[in-house]
Structures are given as C-alpha cells and as structure tokens.
Structure 1
Amino acid sequence: MGRAASRRSMRRLPPPALLALMYLTVIAMGTVLLSLPVAQEVPVSLLTAFFTSTSAVTVTGLVTVDPASTFTLFGEIVIAVLIQIGGLGLMTFAAFLLLTLGISIGMPQRVILSEELGSASLEGLMRLAKLILTVALVAEAAGTAILATEFVPDHGWAHGLWLSLFHTISAFNNAGFALFPDSLMGYNTHPVVSLSIAAMFILGGLGFVVLGDIAQARSWLRLSLHSKLMLVGTAFLLILGFVLIALLEWSNPLTLGGLSPADRLVAAFFQSATTRTAGFNSIDIGAMGNASTVLMMVLMFIGGGSTSTAGGIKVTTAIVLLLATRAFFRQRQEFAIFGRSLGLVEVMKVMALTTVSLGVVALSIFLIAIHWQGSMFDLTFEVVSAFGTVGLSRGATYDLTAPGQILICFVMFVGRVGPLTLGFFLAMAAQPRVAYPKGQIYLG
C-alpha cells in the first residue's frame, strides 16, 4: 500500500519537480560512491564527497580538493560518469535505454524529457535525444583521439588514454574537471590541447538543437531563429572576450605576459571560450586583473545555449533582453530580428529568468558573506561561477566553511536545473478569481 501511494505521489509531481528529484538522487548516489574507501586515495569527509558529486552532476567543476591526488581511478571513473549523466541529461539516458529495450515512452516521460532538453514542443524529442547521444559519442571519440597525441607521449598509453578520455568528457559536457593540479596551465603552450578542448566545449555549449538544425538545414537562410541567434551571439561573445582579455592581460607577467605572442593569442581565446561555462583554465585566474575578472563574470553569467551542456541565463536570453530594451526606447510593443517578431511572452520569460538568477546570486553572496573573511571580489566570482556552472575559481572555494560549501552546492544545483524549472511548482499558473481595475505607477 505504501509503495503504491508513493508511486501515485511521484506521478502527481510536476515534471520540473520530478526532474529536480532525479538530479538529487544521482547526486546522492555519487556521494555514496565517492565516500567508499575504494574511491579515495586519501580519506575525505562526507561533505567533500557531496560537494564533488554535486559539482560533477551539475557539470560545474568547482572542487575543494585536487581530484587527481584525492581520488583513485575508480573515483575518477565515478566523476566522469556523473559528468556524462549530468551533462547529457538523465532523461536522455533513460529515453535511450527504453528505446534500446524496445519499450515505448509515454506522455509523462516525454514531458519530463521536454523539461530536461528545454524544448517547448513534444514532437521530435526522441529524435533529439538520439541526436544528443550520437553527437556526444562521435565528438568525444574524436576529442579523445586528438588529445591522445599529446597525453600518451607524456604519460604512457594506459594513463594517457584515460587522461584523454576524461578531459574530453569533461570538456564536451562543459564540466571543467581536470586531472592536473593546475588545470591546463601546463599545456598552455600546446595549441593542440588548448584548441581541441576549446572546440569540445564550444560544440557542447552551442546546444543540440542548433547542431541538429545545422545538420538538417545546411543553409543560413533555412536555419531557425534560435539557431541564428545562438551562432551570432556565440561568435560575438567569443570575439569580444578574446579581444578584451588579450588587450587587458597582454603585458601581465603572471598571465599572458610570459608567453610568446602566438601562445598569448591561443591562451586569450581559450580563456574567452572557457568562461562560457567550460571551467578549464590555461592561465592563473587569480592573477588576472580586475577588469578581466569582471568581464569573465559577465560572460559566465550569460553562459551558453539552451539544450546544451552549458549553464548561465543563456545567450538567447541576453539577446532578447537587449532587443526588448531597444524596443522600449523606440516605444514599440514588438521587436523583430532575422525576419521574425518577438513579443511580450518572450520578454516576460527572460525577465523572470534573469530576475530569479540575479536574486539567487545576490542572496547566496549575502549568506556566504556572513562568515566569509576573505575578498568579496573573489567570493562574488566564485558564486557567479557556481551559478553559471562554470567552475573557474580564484581560490575562494577552498576557504569556504561547511555552510558556505553547502550554499555553493545549492547554487550549482539551481544553475543546472534552472531557476524557472525550480520556480515552476512554486508559482503554478492559475486563473485569478477576482479582477481588479487597472492602476498606474510611475517608474524611473
């Protein structure tokens, strides 16, 4: 009787709530596995295992310990699996498994899958799930082969191939976990490593809808509005970040200044791209100037694309906000781009997403700051990095108290599942029972 009632209660849960519960379940399973002695090179606390599991499932990359020296090969495999599950989505794996077994997927499961993939339409979701896994496997196989040309000569066949596979999984899923104590700083003069890993997380951050649209349309004119906005917005942010980081850090001896001109350009591009929620670093983040750090926080907050492995408020959200602001000053009710119009519904959605996101970041900074004794600049960077599921750090994560680490875990979880997804069951749409006369307020 109890089990039947529990199943009925699960069915009554709204899809976003069920999705969040599934993510929490995987995080709990990862915590248990990383707490096993077989997973630990040195003993770690339950909180450390929980923090690492949360960071892996939310594909963030923030850590309180060095993964390579703290966890055994088994532990590293657990982290890689958690990254893959969190990056590609639990429902994608579930859908693929059911299809493989020849089991049809009903409407409730399709609705959950729709929430996971960020798609408003239930049509073609299974095709999209197949596309996600196909693209992921092909891209990760290619990335592993490329990285092996650098890692195998340096670390031998067995360990070199494992390093290649792990970093490819981490890069494609925009996780930022690295098995080197200094992330990729030791390879900042190796363009094959930097550019191939950058290609992986740019590809994963574009979004699978965009990749599928490109494969099907094969023409700019036939691309959807979403794909056009993502491609233009991504290119603009990559170029903007690259140019500004190169200019601001070119003479900094602690970052780009000690490299050759060609290596400086590669490192500047890598750092511009990695802020889009990838989390790797090839230069010392803590040594970057204040202006560069602020720029990186803006890029981390924006993030990547919908239906992608990236976090943040998303590129399309930022573009719609800018277009809506422009339309306001021109006193227009609607605005158009690439021959398509957008209206109040889209504006309301992105405003809600941005407001909730800013609220989560601001409240988290406030709560952690109660017991924080370090630099507020570093703390703000860490919280924004956690919310954008980026994983870049200026060292503040290592100095957090236990309550601070738990709060960062919450921020990473919200950043992955999505503020609107969590807010879905807190503000269910309902028809008002009472209508009120219109009022007027003065703004500005």
Structure 2
Amino acid sequence: MYRRFIVKKKWDRTKNMHQKRNFLDPPKTLVLGFAIIILLGTICLTLPAATTNGHGLSFLNAMFTATSATCVTGLVVVDTGTTFTLFGQLVILFMIQVGGLGFMTFATLFAFLLGKRISLKERILLQESLNNLSMEGVVRLARRILVFTAVIEFVGALILSIRFSLDMPLGTAIYFGIFHSISNFNNAGFDIIGHFQSLTGYVSDPTVVLTICALIIIGGIGFIVMNELFEFRRSKRLSLHTKIVLITTSFLLIVGTLGIFLFEYSNEKTLRPLSFSGKILGALFQSVAARTDGANTLNIAEMTQSSLLLIVFLMFVGASPGSTGGGIKTTTFTTLLGAVWSQIRGKEDVIFYRQRIEYETIYKALTVSFSALFLVLIITLLLTITEQGTDFLKLLFEATSAFGTVGLSMDLSRDLSPLGKMLITFTMFAGRVGPLTIAYAVTMRRNPDAFRYPKGKIMIG
C-alpha cells in the first residue's frame, strides 16, 4: 500500500511538471482539438462534391452542420438525406464518430494500429477527455471503448439493416442501418430518411424504436459505466458513480415516458391516432431521444406545451459523464438533489449508498449547473433579439437543445438568421466541450490562496 502511494505521488508530480512545461494544458487542447475538427469538416462540406447540387454549402451553413456533427447534436439547417452526396454524408458520419468518442480516443486508435506507445501527455489528455477520475488504466479503458463501440454499432447496424431491407433495396438498407446505428449510438440524431421527417414513419415499429432506444441509452450512460458493467461478473461490485448513473437514468426515462404519454395521449397530431402500443413506443422513444439524441418519431412542433417543457428539462439534464451525450449530466443533477434533500433534513453531509460526497464535488455540480443555466438563458435572450417575432418557447427549446447537444427542434433551425445560426453554433460547441472547460481554456488558472479571509454571514431564503 505504501509503495502504491509513492508511485501515485510520483505520477502526480510528473503530471504537474509536464503541465507546467506545456502551454496547452488539457482544457486548451480539448477545445482546440474540437475546433480543428470542426474547421476541417466545414471546409469539406463547402466542396462541390459534398452536395447534390454541385455547389457545396455556404460557409456558415457548413460550419453549423460540422459543429452539429462533431458535437453530436443533430440540429440541421439543410436536409441531410437529400442535400448531401455520399461523400458529404460520409464526412458527417466521420465527424459524428470522432466527436462521439472524443478525438483523443480516436487518436489512440491510430496509435494502437501503428504500434506507437502512448505518452504521458496523451494519457493526461485521455483522462480529461474521458472524464475519468484517475490516470490509472486509462489506456486500457480507451482500448475497451473502441471495442465496445465497434461491437455495439455493428449489432445495431445489423438489426436496422435487416428491418430497413423490408422497405428498400438491400444495399440502401445496409447503408441506412450503418449510418443510423453510428449516429444514434453517438447520440447525434442525424438521419438520412429525407425531407426533415426523421423516423416519424417508424413511430409504431418496435424493431426500429427499441433498437435505436437501446443505442441511445447505451451511448448515454458513459463508457466508464459500460466498462464496470462488463466487469461485473468478475468484480461483483459497482462503484457509486455507476449506481447513481443507472438509477438516475432509469428515473428520468420513466418520468419522461409517463409524462409524454399523458400529455400527448389526446393530441390529434401526435399520439392519439396511434394504437395503444404505438402510443407507448412513441412516448418511450421521445423520452429517450430527449436525453441528447436529436431523432424523433413524433412531430416536435405539434406537441403540447407541457410535453415541450418536460423535454426542455430532460435536455438540460442530458446524459452521463464520459458518454457521447451532453447536458449538465445525470450525476450533477442527482448531486444537487442530494444537497437540497440534506439541507431540508438538516444534515451537513450529502450521503448516497452510505458514502459521503465531498464538498468539492458539490461545488463543482453547482458551478456546472449555474454556468449551463446562465448560458442557456443568455443565448435565449440574444435569440429574442436576432429572431424577433418567434415564439419564446421555440427559442428556449432551441437553445437548450443546442446546449444539451440534443438536436431536437421545433422546426426553427433552418429558419434562423445568420446571427442566430452563429449563436446556436457556439452553444453546440460549448455544450459538447463544457462551459467550464472553455472557461479554463481561455483564462489563467489561479494559484491556491496564500491565506483565508475571516468568515462572513449572510441571510439565505
């Protein structure tokens, strides 16, 4: 045990020395890495070969689409299925895969293929990218992530291809199956069905709905949780993180499904025309997709305001840390609930499963949530200026969807003004890399305080 402590101290000391010698610390590198991928994708989508009309997208629309794909959002200003050629769609698919896994995980794949050793700097970046608590075993985790991704996407593509083959030629069905499997596992929600219809034609199809729901959920629980579940048969234990993720995810899915089912049950434009099983599948899919995937089987613009507000809440919470999804994350939401419940009960500590949550974690959860709320409200406010005459709920929905990297829209994205598109593009980028990561990247890290001020008292509540 003592030897392990000494080794850890050496790793931490080496890590700190390495970061001091490098101007680009992990937050700066992650922000810059995503920005470079978006820039390259933007250039590719402006090429004549990328669009069916042979002219390429305008730079603004290309940047919006590239950001949406790299940040695995799914908001679109042009129809993916009819606007882009095979080359353009493959560019989008590549950006989705890189953005979902994280560019550092993708770079690790090439290092494995070339037999290259993973350096200390790359391990630090991997730890930051995967949101892992320690550097120990991070390379092994990255290797498993690549295997998990390949297997899950292959199984999803196989099932979807078989189902789509009943409606279209086999070659097209296979391509559609691969595209939608990758898109939905990475919580991107891009589809190539065409004419902004998404998956509305399959609202009552259990094979398509349940397969895509499974892809979204698995991609949204996080790779760390996947790895623990994979090792559960051997370890017979789950960490506190995994328990909270699984419980919170299940709770949100149940609440979302029941809420949408009740709110839309009598809505002639959504659930009412469907059979009872179709209603359940429609409500389930939209609850799952609201957790950071932009696919939809119901017409979002025709849903009731109650459902839309519920979806805004689900989009804001989002998926789990270290996943392909966005939002403030399930663990952040549960930590805040735990802190509130502890205050109500007059308890000093936040306890989950007989384990105390550190104050630093609670402060971080509060900071992340407040920063996210502030960002969404500011973007919504600016959209009320750039998109005058547009319903406020549409603007709030769009801003929250962009921040949560969800991709659901009330048919507003393609009608945004140039300034509105730029605002949503920035929000998608901030939502993917995280407001705190951007803040750390553009500001200097402060040194620890040399002294502490005396305590002051203020009235709360």
TM over 0.5: yes
Q: Distance in 2 between matches of 1:347 and 1:280?
A: 33
Alpha-carbon RMSD? 1.6
Helix, strand or coil at the partner of 1:121 = coil
Q: Provide the secondary structure at the position in 2 that maps to 1:119.
A: coil
Partner of 2:286: 271
Matched, 1:287 2:298: no
Give the equivalent residue in structure 1 for 2:377: 362
What residue number does 2:143 align with?
A: 130
The aligned counterpart of 2:254 is 239
Look up the match of 2:448.
431
What SS does structure 2 have at the residue aligned with 1:307?
coil
Q: How does 1:389-400 map to 2 (within 5 A)?
A: 389-400=405-416
Residue 20 of structure 1: aligned partner: 31
Residue 230 of structure 1 pairs with residue 245 of structure 2: yes
Q: What letter matches 1:410 in structure 2?
A: F
Paired residue total? 437
Matching residue of 1:34? 45
Contact (CA 8 Å) 1:333, 1:343: kept in 2 or not? no
Corresponding residue SS for 1:370 = helix
Write the deviation string for residues 356-379 of structure 1: whole angstroms up to 9, x where unpaired: 111111111111211212111101
- Helix, strand or coil for the counterpart of 2:356? strand
Residue 443 of structure 1 is matched in structure 2 by 460
Q: CA deviation at 1:69?
A: 1.1
- Partner amino acid, structure 2, of 1:62: L
Partners of 1:443 and 1:348 in 2: CA distance:
17
Show CA shifts across 1:88-142 (max 9, x none): 1100011121122222112211111111101120111111111111111001110
Query: Per-residue CA shift, 1:212-245, capped at 9, x if unaligned?
Result: 1011123896100011111111111111111111
Cα distance in 1 for partners of 2:453, 2:31 equals 36
Partners of 1:422 and 1:134 lie apart in 2 by 30
Shift of the alpha carbon at 1:10? Answer: 10
Q: Match of 1:12, as an amino acid?
A: F
Give the residue type in structure 2 aligned to 1:34.
Answer: L
- TM value normalised by structure 1: 0.96
| Alpha carbons 1:172, 1:200 under 8 Å: kept | yes
Pick one of 212, 222, 225 that aligns with 1:210: 225
Structure 1 unaligned regions, length at least 5: 1-7
Q: Match of 1:4?
A: none
What secondary structure does 1:59 align onto?
coil
Comparing 419-428 with 31-40, which one deviates more in the overlay? Answer: 419-428
Q: For residues 223 and 433 of structure 1, what CA distance do their matches in structure 2 show?
A: 39
Which shows bigger deviation, 147-156 or 87-96? 147-156
Q: Deviations over 1:415-438 (max 9, x none)?
A: 000122112242624122454322
For 2:454, the aligned partner's letter is: P
TM-superposed CA distance for 1:83, in Å, is 0.2
Gaps of at least 5 residues in structure 2 are: 1-18
Confirm or deny that 1:382 pairs with 2:398: yes
Stretch moving more, 422-431 or 99-108 = 422-431
Structure 2 counterpart of 1:402, from 418, 429, 440? 418
Amino acid corresponding to residue 272 of structure 1 in structure 2: S
Q: Is residue 302 of structure 1 aligned with residue 317 of structure 2?
A: yes
- Give the residue type in structure 1 aligned to 2:327: G
Return the letter of the residue paired with 2:101: L
C-alpha separation between the residues in 1 aligned to 2:233 and 2:92? 36
Q: Which runs of at least 4 in structure 1 moved beyond 4 Å after TM superposition?
A: none
| Counterpart residue number, 2:98 | 85
Q: Quote the residue 1:343 is aligned against.
A: 358
The TM-score normalised by the length of structure 2 is: 0.92
Please report how far the alpha carbon of residue 351 of structure 1 lies from its aligned counterpart in structure 2 after TM superposition. 0.5
Give SS of 1:154's match. coil
Letter in 2 for 1:82: M
Q: Distance in 1 between matches of 2:20 and 2:450?
A: 28
Do the aligned partners of 1:10 and 1:18 also contact (CA within 8 Å) in 2?
A: no
